[in-house]
Structure 1
Amino acid sequence: MKRLFFAVLVAGLMLTGIAHSDDSDSATATAANIATAAKLDNPGGIGGVESLRGMVELETTRPADPMKHYPKDQGLIDSDYVYQPPLIPHTIRHYEVSLNANKCLACHSWKNAKQMDATKISVTHYVSPQQGQVLSDVSPSRYFCLQCHVPQAEAKPLVENDFKRVNALR
């Protein structure tokens, strides 16, 4: 059985080598024609699809955007709609919010907020949404602050926007 398999394998390799050597010139020409057609049909290598980056190849690296400016001491930021999670009025660069650590709680927990002169997190963050029980520590469903709260930076919008605040908050 092994001999038969080996014989078939050798014969296949020999035939492939012969077929390849006979058609090598036409295969090279065909590959060049396909590559030229792909360039015409696919400008920039992105299928002609324009994204927020514009018509650029995904393989090319563009310069990074300038760092966003976070106004210092801007205090509480007004809400734009009802039940909006409060915005973060400072940078959160290098803040760790993971399963093992939450840098936000170093200042905003009820225990630390007064001495850090920070806003306390809402009492709703201590309530388990499944059972409605009040917990002694932050609810696991509210532990990852950055799911809802975002820093407010002075940055231009990525897309045009005509959003207006609700009348009740003007």
Structure 2
Amino acid sequence: MKKQTRNLTLALVAAVSFGTFGGQAAFAQQVQSLRGAPVDAAEPATPAAHIRPDGPAIARDYVQQPPLIPHKVEGYEVTKNFNKCMDCHAWSRYQEFNATKVSLTHFKDRDGGELSNISPRRYFCLQCHIPQTDAKPLVDNNFKRAEGLR
């Protein structure tokens, strides 16, 4: 009885595995990527989108959106010991460069306590803030700015 149950279980597992994974190769042939090439095709990287030239602050599209960066940041050093962004955006220097100062929210710890320096959680700017590019959407969409921001 035990041998029969074991054989039945193995047969069932094999059937389910084949049914689940057996058709994957055929299915992969039908999948098309947004770049127009087969998913498993080796393609050269597409050129990076053009970063818009330095300019005024970019309007936000939804509440709590981190501000977008209106300039190039390629080559900016942001390490645990140095943050290039602070050369212009620190409270002590933002007026000199006509830059946006770092938000007060960046000087709070996770419990809401005020800090004398930028919170380590907010120190690596490019985790949230990104440069604006002229990249076109990959797919059509009907995105609209948040009602209160129009």
TM-score above 0.5, yes or no? yes
Cα deviations across residues 33-88 of structure 1 (Å, max 9, x unaligned)?
A: xxxxxxxx848xx93343333333646232x3334223324201111111211111
2:63 corresponds to 1:97: no
1:140 to 86, 101, 120: 120
2:43 to 61, 83, 102: 61
1:80 is aligned with what amino acid?
D
* Secondary structure of residue in 1 paired with 2:126: helix
- How many angstroms apart in 2 are the aligned matches of 1:90 and 1:80? 18
* Secondary structure of residue in 1 paired with 2:72: coil
Structure 2: give runs of 5+ residues left out of the alignment: 1-23
Structure 1: give runs of 5+ residues left out of the alignment: 1-40
Could you say which structure has the greater relative contact order, defined with CA pairs below 8 angstroms and 6 or more residues apart? Answer: 2
Structure 2 length-normalised TM: 0.71
Q: How many corresponding residue pairs? A: 126
Per-residue deviation at 1:114?
A: 1.7
1:52 to 13, 34, 39: 34
Determine the structure 2 residue equivalent to 1:167. Answer: 147
- Distance change (3 Å), C-alpha of 1:167 and 1:137: same
2:57 to 54, 76, 80: 76
- How many angstroms apart in 2 are the aligned matches of 1:122 and 1:110? 9
Q: Which has the higher helix share?
A: 1
Root-mean-square deviation over aligned CA pairs? 2.3
Cα deviations across residues 96-155 of structure 1 (Å, max 9, x unaligned)?
A: 22323222112111122122221101011011122x221111001111111211111111
Q: Please tell me whether Structure 1 or Structure 2 has the larger radius of gyration of its CA atoms.
A: 1
